Amino acid sequence: MKRLAVYCGSATPADPRYVELARDVGTALAQQGIGVVYGGGRLGLMGAVAGAALAAGGECLGVIPEALVGGNGRGGEVANYDCELTIVADMHERKAAFTRLSDGFLVLPGGVGTMDELWEAVSWSQLGYHNKPVGVLNAFGFYDGLLAFNRHMADVGFVRPAHQGIILSGTELDPLLNLMRAHEPIVPIVNMDPNTL
């Protein structure tokens, strides 16, 4: 894995563990020679990941929609011009760029935008639009409920057996990265027998 799309919140929670986690991840990825592809902002967990990766000498590519740049485009309130920044038209173009530029997806704690990015990565894997690993870092039990809900969808029959392992999860970064490195592509829906769907 040369680059990972890192999905996480643009907010800064009151609990300092979340920002510390983001910084630790940015530093660790840089030290392992894994570039960061992220949302291009300098706020919240996103900014913490990027800042730490850059401080550790890592590659950091930001992709941000025009509407989120802030200010007059240069030195705006949101965009991080310290990284290699690409400004795109909208969120659809942003997520397509994340998929194109990365070798996998690493999900840290976040909110609605992070959930949108996670589920699109999972959905696109099911459909065969990519065959890259999707890893969820379940630090502090943040994603316990989400992982339980994903199991519930599978138990009810809304996630096919062949796709129940798309989401890889772990509570610590290094074991999760090892799971992601060992990832084997699943059989996408488009390659399945229609009679078994």
CA geometry: angle 106, 109, 113, nearest 5 deg? 85
Confidence at residue 78, expressed as pLDDT on a 0 to 100 scale:
86
Averaged over 112-121, what is the pLDDT? 96
Averaged over 160-180, what is the pLDDT? 96
Averaged over 83-104, what is the pLDDT? 96
Asked if the model's pLDDT at residue 137 lies above 70, the reply is yes
Confidence at residue 111, expressed as pLDDT on a 0 to 100 scale:
97
Confidence at residue 130, expressed as pLDDT on a 0 to 100 scale:
95
Question: Domain of 45?
Answer: 3-181
The answer as to whether 173 is a domain residue is: yes
Higher model confidence: residue 177 or residue 76?
Answer: 177
Q: Which residues of 45-65 are buried (b: 16+ CB within 10 A; e: fewer)?
A: bbbbbbbbbbebebbbbbbbb
Burial class (CB in 10 A: 0-12, 13-18, 19+), 153: exposed
The answer as to whether 69 is a domain residue is: yes
The answer as to whether 70 is a domain residue is: yes
Alpha carbon distance 193, 197 (integer Å): 7
The answer as to whether 193 is a domain residue is: no
Confidence at residue 89, expressed as pLDDT on a 0 to 100 scale:
95
Confidence at residue 77, expressed as pLDDT on a 0 to 100 scale:
53
Alpha carbon distance 2, 80 (integer Å): 22
Asked if the model's pLDDT at residue 76 lies above 70, the reply is no
Q: What share of the chain is helix, strand, coil (3-state, %, to 5)?
A: 45, 15, 35
The answer as to whether 190 is a domain residue is: no
pLDDT in tens, 35-66: 999 999 999 999 999 999 999 999 999 999 99
Average per-residue pLDDT in the chain?
93
State the pLDDT confidence band at 75, using cuts at 50, 70 and 90. Answer: very low
Total count of domains within the chain: 1
10, 41 contact by CB (below 8 A): yes
Asked if the model's pLDDT at residue 195 lies above 70, the reply is no
The answer as to whether 89 is a domain residue is: yes
Task: Residue 30: give its domain's CATH number.
Answer: 3.40.50.450
The answer as to whether 196 is a domain residue is: no
Name the nearest CA neighbour of 45 among 65, 73, 15: 15
The answer as to whether 188 is a domain residue is: no
